[in-house]
Amino acid sequence: MGGIMHAVGSLLPYHLLSYGALLGTEVYQSFVNTKLCFQALPMREFLALQKRLFPVYFKCQVGLAVLTAATHPPYSLFSLVKDPWGALPLVVVLITGSLNWFVYGPRTTTASLVRRALGENEDKPAENEGKLHQANRNFTINHAMSIHLNAISLVATIWYAFWLSSNLLPEV
């Protein structure tokens, strides 16, 4: 019982829980949720859902990266300052998540809505052709950036797991 009480007062279990939530959220959103929604929903409903879902996902990603850094044992952020290689993957997650949250997520949403509106407006097809091409291009560029930033974030999160494991395992 004393071991559990000692663990409750330590940062390690909170660190492992926040890291696990970060990795689980990234994997679930990237490989399960988005794919299932894309396959199951009509495009209009899929876009409406993603417009609401991704900002929340990016906020959670950034928040969980901050929480993971703040609970780093044994002395919170001060422990990470002493080991920049341990902090680097979390900084990468913070930067990529923030870029998606504030820049590429909103741009992708706006471009998808413009693209859909232009595609549905059949009154002036010749006039809309150039605008539709530009909207498709804007969507493609911003969506690709968002996907790549998310992939970089996932790789950094996994890299952090190996760094963390190397510090928890006894040296051989």
What is the helix (H) or strand (E) element at residue 162, kind and residue range? helix 125-168
Q: Are 8 and 73 in contact (CB under 8 A)?
A: no
Residue 80's closest CA among 161, 164, 166, 18? 164
Query: pTM for the complete prediction?
Result: 0.91
What are the angstrom distances between the C-alpha of 102 and each of 36, 72, 85? 25, 26, 26
Kindly list the domain boundaries of the chain, sorted by start residue.
2-168
Does the pLDDT value for residue 65 go beyond 70? yes
Taking the C-alpha atoms of residue 80 and residue 59, their distance in angstroms, rounded to an integer, is: 22
d(CA 89, CA 133): 37
- At 32-61, the pLDDT tens digits run 999 999 999 998 899 899 999 999 999 999
pLDDT band at 26 (very low <50, low <70, confident <90, very high): very high
Transcribe 9-74 into DSSP letters. TSSHHHHHHHHHHHHHHHHIIIIIIHHHHHHHS-HHHHHHHHHHHHHHHHHHHHHHHHHHHHT-TT
Say what percent of the chain tops pLDDT 90: 68
In the predicted model, is pLDDT for residue 74 greater than 80?
A: yes
The pLDDT score that the predictor gives to residue 171 is 74
Neighbours of 70 (CB within 10 A): 14
